[in-house]
Amino acid sequence: MLIQLEVLYLALLDLESDQLKLHALPTGAPLREQVSEAESLHLSLLHQGLSRPGFLADCLAVPKGRTLVIRCLPHLAHHRAVAVCSQLLASLHLLARGETLDTRVWLVLSHHIKTQSCEALEPPVRAIVSRPKKVVCKLLATPLGSTTLLSLLLKEGVTGSASGVWSQLASIILTCAAEGAAIAATIVKLELDDSSLDRVLNLTDAQKAAWQRIQKSVPAS
């Protein structure tokens, strides 16, 4: 896997170099066609590598791999970038590590959450709620994890698609909070008002208390 990672990193660096050359070369310059062909080749290598079954999860398990994926995203075709972002969201437990990269990851996930419908977000949310409760508790203890999970709830709270997976997400987050799990301050300010979960879940008194704890635990960073 590390060898494959190095191959993709070289392809990314070559792609970025190709794009700089194309930016510098005037229209009609003899080298433009050659550089354009190289750019297409290097971009194809990135697409193929990131599409390889199981590779993305392995890639996210190492720091260099996480950085590679985030750097690759702006270069990918839209449909491929959306698919990768969905996989990133589903693999949030591999990303939320309290690293300096977290802010860049959040920018990517934030855009994905804002631009995708609730229906499109359901598969990665289903992957999140399928994790053991202790994994979700660990996510809430990191700024990236708490910001992403709570943003997903706010997305659903606004649009209200009424799918059961969103209720499951709300329930497990509230359960973690009720049991005393650490709640990290969010990367950005989130409007967590009392009505945020009205369309997702009919809160019990215990869940209301847990939600109030979350509201107090995540002031603007």
pLDDT tens for each residue of 164-209: 899 899 999 999 999 999 999 999 988 887 777 877 778 888 888 9
- 213-216, Cβ contacts within 8 angstroms, sequence gap of 24 or more: 213/177, 213/178, 213/183, 214/150, 214/173, 214/174, 214/177, 214/183
Q: What is the pTM of this model?
A: 0.87
Q: By C-alpha distance, which of 131, 136, 178 is closest to 153? A: 136
CA-based nearest residue to 66, from 106, 115, 124, 36:
106
Average pLDDT estimate for 30-51: 90
- Taking the C-alpha atoms of residue 37 and residue 196, their distance in angstroms, rounded to an integer, is 50
Using CA atoms, how far residue 61 sits from 16, 95, 105, 129, 190, in Å, is: 24, 8, 14, 20, 28
Count of positions (residues) in the chain = 221
Residue 103 has pLDDT above 80, yes or no: yes
Q: Note the pLDDT of residue 183.
A: 92
What's the CA gap between 126 and 169, in Å, rounded? 8
> Does 114 score more than 90 pLDDT?
yes
